[in-house]
Amino acid sequence: MKETSITKNILANFAGKAWSSLMSLIFIPFYIKFMGIESYGLIGIFISLTALISILDMGLSSTLSRELARLSVSRATAQESRDLVRTLEVVYWTAGILIGICVVCLSPIIAHSWLTPQGIATKTVEQAVMIMGLVVAIQWPSALYDGGLMGLQRQVVLNGVRGVMATIQHAGAVLVLWLISPSILAYFCWQICVSVLLTLLLATFTWRSLPITQKTSTFHGYLLKKNWRFAAGMMGISIMATLLTQVDKIILSKLLTLTLFGYYILALNLANIVVQLVNPFFSAFFPKLTQLIVDKKTSEAAVLYHKGCQLAASIVLPVSITVAFFSREIIRIWTNNSQLADNSYVLLSILVLGSTCNALLMMPYTLQLAYGWTKLIFYQNLYSVIILVPLMIYMVILYSTIGAAIVWLILNIGYVIILVPLMHRYLLKTELWKWYFIDTGVPFLLTFLLVLFSRLIIPSGLSVVTLSCWLLLTIVTAFICSIVTLPFPRSWIKLKLSP
């Protein structure tokens, strides 16, 4: 795949992720206005439930992405590509149906014994959880088709579909709440309609993107056996990673009211934008890194790896550090609700710093998967879960939501200190200090100092418009600073601007 194709895929991924995130952010204040913060907490439960159930993916979507990227090198493997999609498709749809049935059956237990609603009837909560199960079952196979389109380099199509459906999902939900019923049940019923359409579209585009053959695509058990090792490694990573990212929400949903949980989810959704900013790099760089490593072009893989790290840092750091220093102002501008800002801004500042560390680790994670090496991530996540769960419970009991946010920050700082050196002992052994200093360290320090200076000199009593302009100017200046300090983004900009 040429570098122009990588650039195209990055731009497509950014456009898709940016639009989807924008749709979510724009309409969250409307959800809270129509339904209240407690009902929004139930949406947070749905997000956590979806993430937890993703454990049952068994590494198959990542396996499909990697295998289709590998098989696309040769036309002789066209039939294997189609048979692999059919095989995994059968597994996925079967799993989706079983998952939906399980969630529906467990809905009374979740509503009556786990959650603590105050302003919402328990029966309504039970019905909402039942509908969640149906939504999860219907949208479950879409993850497989995402992986397929990524491996086939059809990321422009994937992001186009995701962007359009995000608009329909969020804008349509607000219209339903406004015109039909301002209830959580109406919200989730709309999600069923959107999930059906999304899954069908992704399935259609995936099959149309596969190479055409003369034979019918069929299920083959040997393809599961052939790819079981990588899939098993990805399943282990998925289980541990999901527990790590969802344990805070599991614990908080049990120990706190839905109202306090709603404040936490509000801050977390803003903080997670940072991670969303780097997901396009994984989607664009993973297939090319895989191909270079398969062809044993290690030096070219190292260059591409650092390009991805620097691009990620140049995008993530200006946004995340600005959000950390101006969290109260950002929430107040976003929601036009001082109470929401007062209850969420400290959480946001802590969570976004943890998410920044997590985002900067996306390219090291991508490199390990490109090598097919899942052992390090699995064991690192396993040890983290063993430590994290009791620590999270202890901190939440003592400090409520703030305790959970602090644990998230500590966890991700530990990743940066421990995971990256361990990885570079085995992969790209001479590249560790370049990652620490050139790719992340220097741009982080300079961006941090610049945004801190903006925080210290900001005048008090600014209007909403003036404050918004100040924040935008801070982000733009920080972005320019990061571009100047990073070799690849700087040279790329020069190349594009040169006559």
- Find the angle CA(78)-CA(79)-CA(81) to the nearest 5 degrees: 65
Residue ranges in the chain modelled with pLDDT below 50: 1-3
Cα gap 48→166, rounded to integer Å: 19
**DSSP one-letter string for 208-239:** HHSPP-SSPP---HHHHHHTHHHHHHHHHHHH
**Sign of the C-alpha dihedral, residues 217, 223, 228, 230?**
negative
325's tokens: 């220093």
Q: What token pair was written down for 392? A: 């999270």
Phi-psi region of 36 (alpha: psi -120 to 50; beta: other; left: phi over 0): left
If we measure between CA atoms, which residue out of 286, 314, 277 comes closest to residue 16? 277
User: pTM (2 decimals)?
Assistant: 0.71
C-beta atoms surrounding 457 within 10 Å: 8
Q: What is the pLDDT of residue 5?
A: 56
Reported as a single tens digit per residue, the pLDDT across 421-466 is: 999 888 888 889 999 999 999 999 999 999 999 999 999 888 889 9
Rounded distance, CA 434 to CA 455, Å? 30
Helix (H, G, I), strand (E, B) or coil at 203: helix
Question: How many angstroms separate the CA atoms of 414 and 385, rounded?
Answer: 13
Report the candidate in 420, 430, 424, 428 with the shortest Cα–Cα distance to residue 293. Answer: 428
In the chain, the N- to C-terminal Cα span, in Å, equals 26
Over residues 157-211, the pLDDT tens digits come to: 888 888 889 899 999 999 999 999 999 999 999 999 999 999 999 989 888 888 7
Q: List the structure tokens of 456.
A: 């210290």
Quickly count: other Cβ atoms within 10 Å of residue 499's Cβ.
2
Are 359 and 319 spatial neighbours (Cβ–Cβ below 8 Å)?
no
